[in-house]
Amino acid sequence: MRAVVQRVSEASVAVDGKVVGQIGPGLCVLLGVAQGDAVADAEWMASKVCELRIFEDEAGKMNRSVLDTKGALLAISQFTLLGDAQKGRRPSFIAAARPEEAQPLYAKFSALCRERGMRVEEGVFRATMQVRIVNEGPVTLILDSHLASRAVP
């Protein structure tokens, strides 16, 4: 599972011109599910995203999580994060999970974040979406459950 996590002052997602998810301060998470991903990947990712200390404390240091700040989360499914553009001019998406495998894990990630007390808004799985992000900082991180040690989330 791969994610691009952005600290935002606001973010929204629309489908066919209608806003389907919108948050104020918090995190926008673009989430790609890889072939072979399992619930353990969703659990690792939810824990990591909710507990990342990328919000400033009173001293101006990135010491607070989105949970600490009572921020929200906008989760957007994005299979193109698994694209491989190393060869040729058109990316290969062979590493991305099939939709019937990816959708339940995307939903599980959102559910796990909600269980941690997050307000989670979502895009529409497999829809063409228009995402508006006001990146705060800017702070942007790339997380990959396959590259991480799960010993300490």
pLDDT digits (tens, 9 = 90+) for 53-77: 999 999 999 999 999 999 999 999 9
pTM higher than 0.85 for the full model?
yes
pLDDT value of position 38? 96
pLDDT value of position 148? 67
Tell me, yes or no, if 79 is annotated catalytic: yes
Q: Map out the domains of the chain with their CATH numbers.
A: 2-144 (3.50.80.10)
| Active-site residue, from 22, 35, 69, 80 | 80
| Active-site residue, from 35, 78, 103, 109 | 78
Mean pLDDT value of segment 24-36: 98
Whether residue 149 has pLDDT greater than 70: no
Residue type, 46: A
Whether residue 92 has pLDDT greater than 60: yes
Whether residue 152 has pLDDT greater than 50: no
| Active-site residue, from 6, 55, 79, 109 | 79
